[in-house]
């Protein structure tokens, strides 16, 4: 019986119907410690003998690949692959699949919720009320905002459509812009520096390459209109944290909303403790609907690839 390693925290904490299809297909499931991200040493102990891997966001390093004696395919229950050493995967002949677009709506809705919270000061108003204080701050409408979307894939496009329905002006930057995508009349493609300089809200929806400099560094943060907000549901490394803290302190950045961190769980860092920061524990894709769809696509990818099918449901990493 072929073995499948299962490591996403949501699935190891509460295995559900999504994994039943793998068992029905005759696979033996090997689950990592429930509800937490496994360490490199734990992965090296779990992966031997496994032909498939239903993976989360845990780093999959060359040392882990060296222990994967029978591994043929890694199937992510999401779209990010920056935690996987693709060169090592290629050397070992391991296919890497993603659940492309499966949880795009879930992540996009959180990004827009962040925008509304930041514009209307909802977290601090709630905290004040719970502390017995009646403290009002004037906010802004999303309809009056210019939203700059960095990365216009499945999530970025969903965000563009939603904020366009709020009558916000929308700009987008992508390394491979699609001129045919125009979700609303008030939409334009921009280069990254122009987008940053013109956006009252910048929303990040692009991958981060290991070792690359932050996309929003001190120079670009200084180009933002004063008091602008930043939404990050992509990767923490896209933003220079030290420069961001300085910009929050001097008011150059009005607020920062993030669902992603370099280390998870991160503990109470200076960034999370900052009064201008809205933080959630990586819940962007963590909805019942998005989770079901992501697992469905990831499982379909595994079964198809291990059966040598030519048409898996998701997308293969380059």
Give catalytic residues, as residue numbers: 235, 264, 282
Chain-centre distance for alpha carbon 107: 7
Q: Which residues pair with 30 in a beta bridge?
A: 5
Gap between the Cα atoms of 55 and 5, Å rounded: 8
**Tokens 């925008």 belong to residue:** 115
Q: What tokens appear for 140 in the block?
A: 């802004």
DSSP 16-65: -GGGHHHHHTTPEEEEPSTTSPPPHHHHHHHSTTEEEEEE-SS-B-HHHH
Gap between the Cα atoms of 155 and 203, Å rounded: 10
128 neighbors 135 (Cβ within 8 angstroms): yes
Q: For residue 26, is the peptide bond before it cis, meaning its omega torsion is within 30 degrees of 0?
A: no
**Tokens 């802004």 belong to residue:** 140
Gap between the Cα atoms of 107 and 315, Å rounded: 18
Gap between the Cα atoms of 262 and 302, Å rounded: 28
83 neighbors 303 (Cβ within 8 angstroms): no
Burial tier of 209 (Cβ tally within 10 Å: 0-12, 13-18, 19+): exposed
Question: How would you classify the pairing of strands 3-6 and 253-258?
Answer: unpaired
């Amino acid at each position: 019986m072929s073995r499948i390693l299962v490591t996403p925290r949501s699935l190891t904490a509460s295995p559900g119907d999504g994994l039943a299809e793998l068992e029905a297909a005759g696979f033996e499931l090997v689950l990592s410690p429930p509800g937490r991200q496994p360490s490199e040493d734990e992965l090296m102990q779990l992966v031997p003998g496994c032909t498939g891997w239903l993976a989360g966001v845990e780093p999959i390093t060359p040392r882990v690949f060296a222990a994967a004696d029978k591994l043929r395919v890694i199937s992510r229950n999401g779209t990010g692959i920056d935690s996987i050493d693709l060169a090592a995967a290629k050397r070992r002949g391991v296919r890497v699949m993603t659940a492309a677009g499966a949880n795009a709506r879930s992540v996009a809705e959180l990004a827009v919720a962040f925008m509304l919270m930041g514009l209307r000061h909802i977290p601090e108003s709630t905290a004040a009320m719970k502390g017995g204080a009646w403290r009002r701050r004037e906010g802004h409408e999303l309809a009056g905002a210019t939203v700059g979307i960095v990365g216009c894939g499945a999530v970025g496009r969903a965000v563009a459509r939603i904020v366009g329905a709020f009558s916000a002006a929308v700009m987008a930057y992508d390394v491979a812009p699609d001129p045919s995508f125009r979700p609303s009349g008030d939409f334009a493609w921009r280069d990254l520096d122009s987008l940053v300089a013109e956006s009252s809200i910048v929303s990040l929806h692009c991958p981060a390459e290991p070792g690359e400099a932050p996309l929003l560094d001190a120079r670009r943060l200084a180009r933002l209109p004063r008091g602008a907000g930043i939404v990050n549901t992509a990767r923490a490394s896209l933003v220079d944290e030290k420069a961001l803290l300085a910009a929050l302190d001097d008011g150059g950045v009005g607020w920062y909303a993030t669902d992603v961190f370099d280390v998870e769980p991160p503990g109470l860092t200076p960034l999370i403790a900052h009064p201008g920061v809205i933080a959630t524990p990586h819940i962007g894709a963590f909805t019942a609907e998005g989770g079901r769809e992501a697992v469905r696509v990831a499982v379909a990818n595994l079964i198809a690839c291990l059966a040598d099918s030519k048409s898996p449901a998701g997308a293969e990493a380059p």
